[in-house]
Structure 1
Amino acid sequence: MLADKVKKIIRQSYQNISQALPDYQVRKEQNYLVAEIAKTLAGEYDKRRRIMVAEAGTGIGKSLAYLLGALPVAMQLNKKLVVSTATVTLQEQLINKDLPFFLQHSPLNFKFALVKGRQRYCCEHKLFQLADANNDQLPLWQDKPTKQDLAMVKRLHKAYSDGKWQGDRDSWPTPIGDNIWQLIVADKHSCSRALSHHQHCPFHRARDELDKSDLLVVNHALLLADTELGGGVILPEPDQCFYIMDEAHHIPSIARDFSSANIQLNSSISWFAKLEQLNRKVAQQVTARSCIGPGIEMVESGLAVKKELAKVAEFFNANAQLFSQDDSCRFAMGELPDALNLFAAAIRDESKICLKALNKILSIITESLKDGSVKTKVAEPLMAEVGIAVQRLENFVNLWYMLAKEPSAKQAPLACWAKKIQAQEPDILLAASPIEVGGLLEHQLWSQAAGCVLCSATLSALSSFDFFRQQTGLKQQDGTQYLRLKSPFDYRKVTLSLPKMRYEPGTDNFDSELCDKVKQFIEPNQGNLILFASYWQMRLVAEKLDGKLDAEILQQGQLSRQALLEKYKKYCDKGTTAILFGTGSLSEGLDLPGHYLTNLIITKLPFAVPTSPVEEAHAEWIQSKGGNPFIQITIPEASKKLIQSCGRLVRKENDWGRITILDRRLVTRRYGQGLLDALPPFTRNIEQ
């Protein structure tokens, strides 16, 4: 049950915040969301399964709602609150605006911190070494440093020594070049807390803050990286955390990316050939006899892997017909040809032996540094080099484990493919990826966490959570709570217009008619956003309309996103006609409130054609079970994207305008009504 003390804190926090915010309006949807989050995490619905999926429409104020509902419960139950986002923009809003404001007006005394990956921090010891070295004894510099490089290192060193910089790459006012950063970046092998002279490095000090903080802000990639490692490696143990996953609609795709692996065949053959050279280097610099055995094992297994990889290369050279016109080859249902299956099993087993030997060598070097038998200036570059080899081999082993995996009737097959790389030195990419990650998320996250709240403005598709459940491994009757809260905005201020069209997408004359219709529906002296299904279509229409409009057409890709939007907004601020052409990537995360957007034109329904090997494999698997990929994947995805696209027009309560969709399939096809019904209640103008 929700403790009375917690209820009192939530009520007091809400009262303080509502009084402190100018023009604050009570939102019953926000109040309900606060209560449901608090009750779910307190275990009122299910003590063993404290999970909620909440779709909160634009304007509800979900950030404030999950802070109000989750933080008091987390602190009462002595859990860390981990807020995970998909974008840097939302992270910055939480750290710089929402959390300081909440801390100021809440009776709770809490600490919060932004958690970043190791690669965002410098290593104190490496920085001092680089700053103190003479130019003629710079073993760390790969190329001779310029005067500007040396000056930058001195500035970094001085600012760090003076306590004016904490060693975080993102907080330095100007970009730090990769050639410098790679020499001072913290890596998990040489910059280890087990080494006394690294205990105070920025990354380790940042990690110390985690123990002192009640609330941690992370991104989805970092959270999933931790869960993939078993949890509790980067962040606290999952059973000690309540997770708030904002922008949760990104979770399935990010999880899939994290579970995939790939290698380049010829470059891998060359790399394994160099292990003998690495072994000689270790033998020369580390005198420990215990290194001899692992070194021999590493070289022998590496040569065995190299030999098997050469057979794989021969297989592809002898079977050029496997590759399609785009130089790709996907293995149906994830099943490799028999010959490749044998090679894959051998490579998996030998590379595992090689990885074990490499890890043993790294451990011996670390111990030698601790006991003083190897000097720091010798050991650290060697540890970094062996550490990089370990990381590369870990990815290599993961790939061959997937490629050699036996198919199971109970699980979806893996997507496995090869692709020719046309470069100065041609190569073949080998890759594998799961096509469904629901089981992985259940195993690594949902079943391990103390509690989870997944929220976004767009989680349902076709007015149902079924598609999201299927993607994430959640079930309707597993104790998970589901909540859909509509936006409090008055969507009747926006007109959804479906004008008459003679042609539909896919017909010969559609593009020609599209040019005429876009020109017709551009509104003068307003902000106009036109969303296209592809860059090709966007450029075609822009070319046809060039010189035929009384305003400049700003195209996505011509400038950086920031520069493009700044130019567009200048036209809006002047009260002149502003025209922005964009593709699907502008349908999400684009904030153009008020006069910055009053006229939105969507040229085509956002149906994604399965072109990637993973998408093709997913569609193939669904068909093999008697399903319909278009109905089960394409239409639900299109529903979510269409809602997101329409959402560009309504960002604030008083926003108004017109949305025009130039795709008559919304009224001519059976699936059209479901797509329309899932949209907010706009005022409709559907021409018959």
Structure 2
Amino acid sequence: MLSPSVKKDIRSSYENLKSQLQNFIPRKAQNYLVAEIAKTLAGEYSPKRRILVAEAGTGIGKSMAYLMGSISFAVNNNKKVVVSTATVALQEQLIEKDLPLFRRVVPKEFSFVLAKGRQRYCCSQKLAGAADAEGAGQQVLFAEKPKKADIDLINDLYDAYNRGKWDGDRDSWPKTIPDAIWQSIVSDKHTCHSGLSAHRQCPFAKAREHLDKADVIVANHSLLMADLELGGGVILPEPEQALYMIDEAHHLPIVARDFSAASASLVGAASWLEKLNQSASKLANAGDIKRSNRFLDALQSGVQTLIPGLRGVRDMLQAYPLNNDGVYRFPDGELPELLFNEAKTLHTAAKKANQSQAKLHDLVAERLKDGEISTRIADPILAESAFFLQRLENLEKVWALMAQPNSDKGAPLARWIQRCPERESDLIVHVSPLEIGWRLDQLLWSRAAGVCLLSATLRALNSFSYFCRQVGLEENDGTQFLALPSPFNYQENARLVIPAMPCEPQDPKFTQILPEVLLEYLEGEKASLVLFSSYWQMNQIAESIRATAKKNGWHLHIQGESSRTRLLDAHRKCCEKGQPSILFGTGSFSEGLDLPGDQLTNLVITKIPFGVPTSPVEEAHAEYIERRGGNPFLQIAVPEASKKLIQSVGRLLRKEQDSGRVVLLDRRIITKRYGKSLLDSLPPFHRVIEYT
């Protein structure tokens, strides 16, 4: 139950918020969301299943609602709040605006911090090694001899770090640090950790101290999954002590799936394994050869099995017919018996090599910690060892998944090979789960102190069922569900126009007729956004209407011709001057694009955003559903299109006073059987359906 102190703190913060904001508009939906979050976290609905799935439409004030509902409860119950987002823009909004505002209005003090993964920080010891004038560190840390410009940059970084002018965070350096440079100095879990005294003041270690002390941690979905895959509590708080506010939650299934996938090359892996074989003795000697000899033997034995084994698999797979994208996917994820047996052998060898390398690495680290070996000698050896350890861990994961038999229960793994873009003679092996819900349940739902999954688009076709299947939740397992519509007056402020088109998008003539139709719906408009289904079609249409646009004094801004930021800035400037401005974009412009007021009054969607299952994972998922007697179009494509279409039309009204129209040039929304469910899931616009 919610304690009186929590209720009092929430009420006080709400009253203080009203007095802090001049144009504050009380919203029943926001108040209701705050209450439902707090009650769910307190276990009022289910003490064992403190999970809420909430779709909150634009304008409700979602982020302030979950801060208000979770932080007061956390502070009063000795828990941490982890806010996870999908985009940098929302992280910045939370850190720079929402959390500072909420800290001013809440009765009890709390601290907050932005969490970043280890890979965003340099290792101070690696940096010192890379800046070594004698070049000893440079020989190990750089794959090739560094150029003068690279050395100058390293020296600038080293100097700034030592003078306290740079904190070791890649994002805080004023200019872009090239990947090749960054990879030579980046922090890694094998060499840069608090167990080694020289690393206790490394940038990541300092950042971890702030994380451990903070009451609220803002992270992204990738960091969240990285922490959970490591067991939880490694970077972020222990799941059992954390209340997770997962915003932009519709992105979570894809991020989670990608984190459980793995890939590795065959010839490329054999090449670096040869280098490992050559350097293993150096590592064993640094770890005391008497103690390390048996681990060295095991490592070299594993490597000597892997090198010919990987090349043999490459030779075996070269007979498989690759498609135009250089890909061959194994139907139903089933490997031929010979390849499956090879996968088991490679997994055993990779596991053996990985474990042995880890033991040798630990022996050197132990000797360094005990003062038996100097930092100057140990650091380059450990840095090189860490490089191989990370690769061995990935190699073991790939072949463990390749050697995993398909289960009768649940979806199989998707397995495919792909021609290596860097080396024509090489192949990359890929493995990915199709469904990730069971893993999320194992890592998060069954462990967390509380979870709220939030987004403006969680439902598909007015139902949470599709999202539940994606993330492994049940609609009757004690999880709470809440759908709160936007407070905007769609009927009065916006129209949805479906023109009488000569043909539908699947007709080859559709692209030919688009320029003429578009010009009709751009005429007389000051601020337009046109969303296309493909770059190809967008560029075709742009070329067709460019001359007419110039003649009419329209400013045309095409995605890809400049950075997103520059395009939007140019569009906004045109709008401020009252000059007609048109943005052309593809699917990525249908989400996270905020153009309030006069910056967007005319939104044209050329086509219902159906995804075509082109990636091997999507193809495998469709195949799996068909094999079970299902319909992948109705079970995947239509729900996904519903979510994307809702996101697309959501670009129009961003504030309560906004107005305009949406023009959908795809008649299938009224001619096809599935169209009605797509149409009914959209906001309640005033509809104008034209007929010939």
Give the TM bin, normalised by the shorter chain. Answer: over 0.9
Contact 1:249 1:458 in 2 (8 A): yes
**Are positions 1:354 and 2:348 aligned together?**
no
CA distance in 1, matches of 2:27, 2:461: 25
Q: Which has the higher mean CA deviation after the structures are superposed, 52-61 or 557-566?
A: 557-566
1:122 alignment counterpart: 122
1:587 alignment counterpart: 590
CA distance in 1, matches of 2:564, 2:215: 35
Q: Please, which of 591, 605, 610 is the counterpart of residue 608 of structure 2?
A: 605
Q: Which has the higher mean CA deviation after the structures are superposed, 377-386 or 277-286?
A: 277-286
When normalised by structure 1's length, the TM-score is 0.96
CA distance in 1, matches of 2:566, 2:324: 37
1:532 alignment counterpart: 532
* SS of residue paired to 2:390: helix
Root mean square deviation, CA, Å: 1.8
**Are positions 1:112 and 2:112 aligned together?**
yes
Corresponding letter in the other structure for 2:447: Q
Contact 2:555 2:579 in 1 (8 A): no
1:368 alignment counterpart: 367
Q: Offset at 1:77?
A: 1.5
* SS of residue paired to 2:25: coil
Q: Which has the higher mean CA deviation after the structures are superposed, 10-19 or 226-235?
A: 226-235
Which runs of no fewer than 5 residues in structure 2 stay unpaired?
none
Q: Offset at 1:179?
A: 4.6
1:458 alignment counterpart: 457
Contact 2:137 2:380 in 1 (8 A): no
CA distance in 1, matches of 2:348, 2:360: 19
Q: Which has the higher mean CA deviation after the structures are superposed, 441-450 or 519-528?
A: 519-528
Structure 1 residues 500 and 247: CA distance shift in structure 2, 3 A? same
**Are positions 1:669 and 2:672 aligned together?**
yes
1:211 alignment counterpart: 212
Show the 5 A alignment for 1:56-455.
56-130=56-130, 133=133, 139=139, 142=142, 149=150, 152-283=153-284, 285-317=286-318, 319-320=319-320, 322-455=321-454
Q: Offset at 1:144?
A: 6.0
* SS of residue paired to 1:547: helix
Q: Offset at 1:82?
A: 0.5
Post-superposition CA distance 1:125-178 (Å, at most 9, x none):
344455564569854663666665555445444543444433222223333344
Structure 1 residues 157 and 347: CA distance shift in structure 2, 3 A? closer
Contact 1:238 1:445 in 2 (8 A): yes
2:3 alignment counterpart: 3
Corresponding letter in the other structure for 1:482: F
CA distance in 2, matches of 1:357, 1:476: 46
Post-superposition CA distance 1:213-265 (Å, at most 9, x none):
11111111011111111111111211110000000000000000000001111
CA distance in 2, matches of 1:92, 1:260: 29
* SS of residue paired to 2:406: coil
Q: Which has the higher mean CA deviation after the structures are superposed, 440-449 or 544-553?
A: 544-553
1:561 alignment counterpart: 564
Q: Offset at 1:466?
A: 0.5
CA distance in 1, matches of 2:474, 2:385: 44
Corresponding letter in the other structure for 1:518: L
CA distance in 1, matches of 2:153, 2:422: 35
CA distance in 1, matches of 2:652, 2:431: 39
Corresponding letter in the other structure for 1:569: R
Structure 1 residues 131 and 299: CA distance shift in structure 2, 3 A? closer
Contact 1:597 1:649 in 2 (8 A): yes
CA distance in 1, matches of 2:617, 2:218: 31
Corresponding letter in the other structure for 2:261: S
Corresponding letter in the other structure for 1:294: F
**Are positions 1:656 and 2:659 aligned together?**
yes
Post-superposition CA distance 1:62-121 (Å, at most 9, x none):
111001111111111111110110111111111111111111121120111111111112
1:480 alignment counterpart: 479
Post-superposition CA distance 1:16-62 (Å, at most 9, x none):
01110121000000000000000000111111110000000000001
Structure 1 residues 406 and 129: CA distance shift in structure 2, 3 A? closer
Q: Which has the higher mean CA deviation after the structures are superposed, 506-515 or 430-439?
A: 506-515
Q: How much identity, in percent, do the aligned residues show?
A: 51
Structure 1 residues 138 and 304: CA distance shift in structure 2, 3 A? closer
Structure 1 residues 162 and 228: CA distance shift in structure 2, 3 A? same
Q: Offset at 1:288?
A: 3.4
CA distance in 2, matches of 1:39, 1:558: 49
1:522 alignment counterpart: 522
Contact 1:261 1:398 in 2 (8 A): yes
Q: Which has the higher mean CA deviation after the structures are superposed, 133-142 or 23-32?
A: 133-142
Contact 2:670 2:676 in 1 (8 A): yes
* SS of residue paired to 2:548: coil
Corresponding letter in the other structure for 2:58: T
Post-superposition CA distance 1:657-687 (Å, at most 9, x none):
1100000001100111110110001111011
Q: Offset at 1:538?
A: 0.8
CA distance in 2, matches of 1:129, 1:261: 31
Structure 1 residues 120 and 415: CA distance shift in structure 2, 3 A? same
* SS of residue paired to 1:548: helix
* SS of residue paired to 2:189: coil
Corresponding letter in the other structure for 1:527: A
1:627 alignment counterpart: 630
Q: Which has the higher mean CA deviation after the structures are superposed, 601-610 or 229-238?
A: 229-238
Q: Offset at 1:587?
A: 0.4
* SS of residue paired to 1:304: helix
Contact 1:13 1:107 in 2 (8 A): yes
Contact 2:287 2:360 in 1 (8 A): no
CA distance in 1, matches of 2:684, 2:437: 32
Corresponding letter in the other structure for 2:513: E
Corresponding letter in the other structure for 2:539: R
Contact 2:125 2:379 in 1 (8 A): no
Q: Offset at 1:428?
A: 0.9
Contact 2:141 2:383 in 1 (8 A): no
Contact 2:597 2:657 in 1 (8 A): yes
Q: Offset at 1:576?
A: 1.1
Structure 1 residues 97 and 47: CA distance shift in structure 2, 3 A? same
Corresponding letter in the other structure for 2:522: I
CA distance in 2, matches of 1:301, 1:534: 47
Corresponding letter in the other structure for 1:657: G
Q: Offset at 1:393?
A: 1.2
Structure 1 residues 501 and 315: CA distance shift in structure 2, 3 A? same
Q: Offset at 1:509?
A: 1.6
Q: Offset at 1:271?
A: 2.2
When normalised by structure 2's length, the TM-score is 0.96
Post-superposition CA distance 1:309-335 (Å, at most 9, x none):
222122123x24x32343211111110
* SS of residue paired to 1:360: helix
1:30 alignment counterpart: 30
Structure 1 residues 39 and 543: CA distance shift in structure 2, 3 A? same
Q: Offset at 1:566?
A: 1.5
Q: Offset at 1:598?
A: 0.6
Corresponding letter in the other structure for 1:79: K
CA distance in 1, matches of 2:165, 2:281: 43
Q: Which has the higher mean CA deviation after the structures are superposed, 521-530 or 274-283?
A: 274-283
Contact 1:275 1:298 in 2 (8 A): no
Matched residue count: 686
2:686 alignment counterpart: 683
